Amino acid sequence: MEVFENLSASSRLEKGPLDAYSRAVREVTESLEPAVISVGTEGGRGGGSGVILGAGAEAATAVTNSHVVRGIRRAARNPNGIRALLSDGASVPVEVLGDDPPSDLAVIRFTPEEEIPVATLGEAGNLVVGQLVVAIGNPLGFQRSVTAGVVSALGRSIRGESGRLIENVIQTDAAINPGNSGGPLADAAGRVVGINTAIIGGAQGIGFAVPVSASFRRVVFALVTEGRVRRAFLGVVVQSRPPRSGSEGGAGVENVAPNSPAGRAGIRRGDVIVGFRDQAVRSNDDLLNLLDESAIDQDTVLRVRRGNREVSLSVRPREQTTD
């Protein structure tokens, strides 16, 4: 019968070459997967993912989410009882160098038993909507699961578990589930362009990642060297505005917090911030980069585009609190 001939023929098929899409995902997986770790308690409570960004003679350093670290600490009987499960199956204790809820990033350090691979960082600013991205993590306890999708949108703002807005995140339709948090989002070259951070409950195909950018690098450096990130706080929610009508872009003010430095300075909803100190502001990322510790409690000139005119305002940012 024909069906038996078909079954017999299928058992003799040779392994064919992968298509271009599958090859790209496979190559990313082979290069990046060994640098992905699982982060949790010794008893398996809590948990998330992480990616190794540095390794020396005695210790390795990885990035994960702030909410992952804080969640594990709540779940663990011992606040310091965090462990990392490496790609070779080894489980090692973890030291938290620092975590930063406003960016939802944390840096951890551990001592591997053997030489360990390190991921390569990319640049989220080079991404375009529709571009292939690959997520690797430990969703629902399934170690080093790989999903692929595209960049669905850029420059999104989401509210993190701390209640604070996380700005300029990457939206992707690569499947992200609980446990993926802290794991890498990579481009087709295997470079880490984001750290997976959140999903929308009840939605499908909507996940978010903290972008690898100048802000990301500054946060990680501060956590490694000081254990915390000091930021200046204006009290505005901003969204990047593209250039138009011969004018350059800026950071559009979506909301102004009551009794904030921005509110006291006279900044209004609908203003577009185009300058801070003597630096141009062409996007919300520009503004966030300028709101570092050097701006805390300093009288600063802030330039806004209000309608068809530019207005200069004096603002004194205060230090942003994280607890």
Q: Over 80: is that where the pLDDT of 322 sits? A: no
**58 three-state secondary structure:** coil
Determine the pLDDT at residue 1.
Answer: 54
**Residue 249's CB: how many other CB atoms inside 10 A?**
18
Please report whether residue 138 resides in a domain. Answer: yes
Cα 209 to Cα 158: distance, rounded to the nearest angstrom: 10
140 — pLDDT class (breaks 50, 70, 90): confident
Query: E-strand spans in 160-295?
Result: 165-172, 184-186, 192-199, 207-211, 232-233, 236-241, 250-256, 272-276, 279-280
Specify whether 262 is located in the same domain as 221: no
CATH number of domain containing 56: 2.40.10.10
Q: What is the pLDDT of residues 228-272, one digit of tens each?
A: 888 898 999 888 888 877 678 899 999 999 999 999 999 999 999
Contact 51, 119 (CB under 8 A): yes
For tokens 């690569």, the residue is 174
Cα 188 to Cα 182: distance, rounded to the nearest angstrom: 19
Contact 66, 101 (CB under 8 A): yes
Span of 197-201, 209-213, 232-236, 286-290 with lowest mean pLDDT: 197-201
Specify whether 218 is located in the same domain as 237: no
Please report whether residue 244 resides in a domain. Answer: yes
Count how many domains the chain has. 3
Contact 11, 5 (CB under 8 A): no
Residue 47 token pair:
């948990």
Determine the pLDDT at residue 36.
Answer: 95
Cα 51 to Cα 33: distance, rounded to the nearest angstrom: 9
Answer with the residue of higher pLDDT: 158 or 31: 31
Number of helical H runs and strand E runs in the chain:
6, 20
Domain of 157 in residue numbering reads as 124-225
> Where does a domain end: 201, 225, 249?
225
Please report whether residue 140 resides in a domain. Answer: yes
Cα 141 to Cα 73: distance, rounded to the nearest angstrom: 18
Contact 317, 297 (CB under 8 A): yes
Please report whether residue 218 resides in a domain. Answer: yes
Specify whether 57 is located in the same domain as 93: yes
Specify whether 74 is located in the same domain as 101: yes
Annotate 73-92 with DSSP letters as a single string: HHH-SSTT-EEEE-TTS-EE
Active site residues: 67, 104, 181
Specify whether 77 is located in the same domain as 102: yes
Determine the pLDDT at residue 46.
Answer: 59
